[in-house]
């Protein structure tokens, strides 16, 4: 179809759309976690027990909140893009294990898994030319 035949010429624009959407949502969800304080960070950080980490839950929670919020911003502008994608994949894998560890099923962990897969793919694709990291 000619309607869709030329869309391949706009891959960088597609990557920009993905970065804006995912980054914006991570800021939206991460900001309340970041500003929630020590109790929020501790609750969030306790999720690491499902991957075998049983120490410093406040630190892990604060780091997860920072990765979500600041990482969302960095995804949007495309700065330090690949390291941020890796950190987000790790955070989302912990979130998925947390859902399973609390007795949830695949449906409960699906959003974390789907988003981790998306960031894993973006890790290989890069941010595209409309980014601060453009080459």
- Return all residues near 21 (Cβ < 8 A) that are at least 6 apart: none
| pLDDT digit string, tens, across residues 28-85 | 999 999 999 999 999 999 999 999 999 999 999 999 999 999 999 999 999 999 999 9
Under the banding of pLDDT at 50, 70 and 90, the label for residue 3 is confident
For residue 133, is it within any domain? no
8 Å CB contact between 76 and 24: yes
The whole domain housing 37 covers 18-125
Domain count, the chain: 1
Secondary structure of residue 68 in the 3-state scheme: helix
- 3-class SS shares of the chain: helix, strand, coil, % to 5: 80, 0, 20
Chain position carrying tokens 């919020």: 69
For residue 88, is it within any domain? yes
Distance between start and end Cα atoms, the chain: 32
Under the banding of pLDDT at 50, 70 and 90, the label for residue 7 is confident
For residue 72, is it within any domain? yes
Residue 4 has what pLDDT?
Answer: 82
For residue 11, is it within any domain? no
pTM: 0.92
For residue 12, is it within any domain? no
Residue 1 has what pLDDT?
Answer: 60
For residue 1, is it within any domain? no
| pLDDT digit string, tens, across residues 99-134 | 999 999 999 999 999 999 999 999 999 999 999 987
Tokens coding 128: 């595209």
């Amino acid at each position: 179809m000619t309607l869709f035949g030329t869309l391949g010429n706009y891959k960088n624009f597609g990557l920009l759309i993905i970065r804006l959407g995912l980054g914006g949502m991570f800021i939206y969800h991460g900001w309340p976690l970041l500003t929630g304080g020590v109790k929020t960070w501790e609750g969030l950080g306790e999720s690491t027990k499902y991957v075998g980490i049983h120490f410093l839950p406040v630190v892990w929670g604060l780091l997860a909140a920072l990765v979500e919020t600041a990482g969302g911003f960095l995804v949007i502008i495309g700065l330090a893009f690949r390291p941020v994608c890796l950190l987000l994949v790790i955070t989302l894998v912990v979130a998925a294990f947390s859902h399973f560890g609390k007795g949830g099923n695949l449906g409960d962990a699906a959003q974390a898994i789907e988003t981790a897969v998306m960031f894993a793919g973006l890790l290989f694709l890069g941010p595209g030319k409309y980014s601060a990291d453009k080459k």
